Amino acid sequence: MRDPVACSSAQLPTEHFNARFSDENVAFLVPIFIDCADIEAGHRVLDIGCGTGGFTRAIADMASAAVTGVDISDRFIEFARNAPEPQRGAVTWKVGSAESLPVADASFDRALLSLVLHQLANPRLAAFEAFRSLAVAGRAVVRTVASEDVAARVPYRFFPSMSATDTDRMPPLTKIEGWLQDAGFVITERRRIFRNRKLNLADQERTLLLEFDGRYSFIPGQEREDGLRLMRAEAEENAGNWIDPRPESFVIASKQN
């Protein structure tokens, strides 16, 4: 198994990483976060592994909540601090680790761990830290790509060693639920949501080329060429309507006492 920390998106160039908070992603995902976490106006929300903070700001704005974004990368948090403030709610930024959160006990109503646990050396400890950060009746939401859903996604289905690595890297849902339960949470719901995302070949290629130079540099040259050829052929075959179902999972857990 590859070192999860070595594959962390904290290694990515800031602007490239920030593209994940496109208007389309924010519009699709933020209402799901608010609904899964049942975020209400005035709630204190902790966005753990917030990156450059696109979801943090949008949750504050959409729900009029007080959202704190924490990330291990001081570069990402610096970027977040320089972005425009939300019109409603409020945001606070902290550099820190999910495994040792820089927050007081019971100081939040909701905690979000979106695509973070798989990047940690000790994800079970992060579940304990999320539990500690929440007040009683608090709720945590984990967003993830289940390991069994990796292989069918674009671009994974064209690059066998990328697919094998990330299938191995993404924890099965039962494992995530086990960490949360060990920490004291009660699992209340699991949702699987299909993104059915319309893809653009140029965007996919641009991202891949950057990642071939970075965290997927282990992919052999021949596999890259073969994968790119297959991906281009599929995109051309479905020109203008290249859709990836891209299922994602949301685990909802509550702190009942």
- What does the block give as tokens for 254? 């509550």
CA torsion, ordered 136, 254, 61, 79, to nearest 10 deg:
90
| Smallest distance, ligand SAM to C-beta of residue 237, A | 30
Q: Which of 30, 37, 39, 50 binds ligand SAM (CB under 6 A)?
A: 50
Nearest to 147 by CA among 128, 174, 125, 185: 174
| Binding piece for ligand SAM, criterion CB under 6 A, among 67-75, 133-141, 144-152, 155-163 | 67-75
- Single out the residue of 73, 133, 204, 249 in contact with ligand SAM (rule: CB under 6 A): 73
> Which residues ranging from 122 to 151 are in contact with ligand SAM (CB under 6 A)?
none
Rule CB under 6 A: say whether 115 interacts with ligand SAM: yes
> What H or E segment, with its residue span, contains residue 161?
helix 160-169
| Strand pairing report for 243-244 and 197-198 | antiparallel
Least distance (Å) between residue 113 CB and ligand SAM = 8
Q: Which residue carries 């909701």 as its tokens?
A: 110
Determine if 99 is a binding residue for ligand SAM (CB under 6 A). yes
Cβ proximity of 234 and 110 under 8 Å: no
Binding segment (CB under 6 A) for ligand SAM, from list 59-67, 94-102, 211-219, 237-245: 94-102
Confirm or reject binding of residue 97 to ligand SAM (CB under 6 A). yes
Report CA-CA distances (Å) from 129 to 115, 134, 179. 16, 9, 11
Q: Does 195 bind ligand SAM (CB under 6 A)?
A: no
**Looking at 18, 119, 163, 204, which residue binds ligand SAM (CB under 6 A)?**
119
By CB under 6 A, residue 120 contacts ligand SAM:
yes
Give dist(CA 32, CA 49) in Å, integer: 17
C-beta closer to ligand SAM: residue 72 or 199: 72
User: Binders of ligand SAM among 13-42, rule CB under 6 A?
Assistant: 20
With vertex at residue 17, the alpha carbon angle to CA 112 and CA 79, rounded to the nearest 5 degrees, is 80
Does residue 62 interact with ligand SAM by CB under 6 A? no
Residue 95 sits in the site that holds ligand SAM (CB under 6 A): no
Nearer to ligand SAM, 79 or 212 (CB): 79
Under 8 Å between Cβ of 223 and 161: yes
Task: For residue 13, count other CB atoms closer than 10 A to its CB.
Answer: 11
- Residues near ligand SAM (CB under 6 A): 8-10, 20, 49-51, 55, 71-73, 76, 97-99, 114-116, 119-120
